[in-house]
C-alpha cells in the first residue's frame, strides 16, 4: 500500500498512531505559517490533539504525485480552531518513511450551510 493510501486511511479513521508510524524518528516539518521547523515530538503532539478533538476534518483529498522519493498531496482541512485551509503537502521520503514535510496553505472561508 502506498504511503498516501496509509495516510488517507489513518486520517479517515482518526488513528494517530497509524498516521505517526509513517514518519521517520528524525522527521521535520516546516511550518508554512512561520517558517519554523517542528520535530517529530512536537508534530506528534499536535496531530494527537487535533485527531482527538473530533473537530478536525479532511476533505477533497487527492494524490498529485508519489514515488519512492516524494509524495505530493492536496486537501481541504478544517481545524479545531474553526479555520479552514486548502493545504498542499510535499513530503520527502526515505526508506519508506516521511523524513521532511513542507506545506503551503490558503485560508478559506467556511462554506455556508444551506
Q: pLDDT per residue over 103-112, tens digit each?
A: 988 999 876 5
Q: What is the pTM of this model?
A: 0.88
In a domain, 112, yes or no: no
Quote the CA–CA distance of 36 and 73 in Å, as a whole number. 21
In a domain, 96, yes or no: yes
Number of domains in the chain: 1
pLDDT tens for 15-51 read 999 999 999 999 999 987 788 999 999 999 999 998 9
In a domain, 114, yes or no: no
CATH code of the domain in which 86 resides = 3.10.450.50
Quote the CA–CA distance of 52 and 50 in Å, as a whole number. 6
In a domain, 67, yes or no: yes
The dihedrals phi and psi of 33, each to the nearest 5 degrees, come to -70, -35
Q: Which positions ≥6 away from 15 have C-beta within 8 Å?
A: 9, 51
- Residue range of the domain that includes 96: 3-107
Amino acid at each position: 500500500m502506498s504511503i498516501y493510501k496509509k495516510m488517507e486511511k489513518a486520517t479517515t479513521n482518526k488513528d494517530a498512531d497509524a498516521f505517526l508510524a509513517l514518519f521517520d524518528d528524525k522527521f521535520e516539518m516546516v511550518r508554512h505559517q512561520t517558517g519554523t521547523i517542528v520535530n517529530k515530538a512536537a508534530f506528534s503532539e499536535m496531530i494527537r490533539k487535533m485527531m482527538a478533538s473530533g473537530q478536525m476534518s479532511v476533505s477533497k483529498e487527492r494524490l498529485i504525485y508519489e514515488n519512492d522519493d516524494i509524495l505530493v498531496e492536496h486537501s481541504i482541512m478544517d481545524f479545531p480552531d474553526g479555520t479552514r485551509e486548502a493545504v498542499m503537502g510535499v513530503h520527502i521520503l526515505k526508506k519508506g518513511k516521511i523524513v521532511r514535510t513542507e506545506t503551503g496553505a490558503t485560508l478559506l472561508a467556511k462554506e455556508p450551510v444551506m
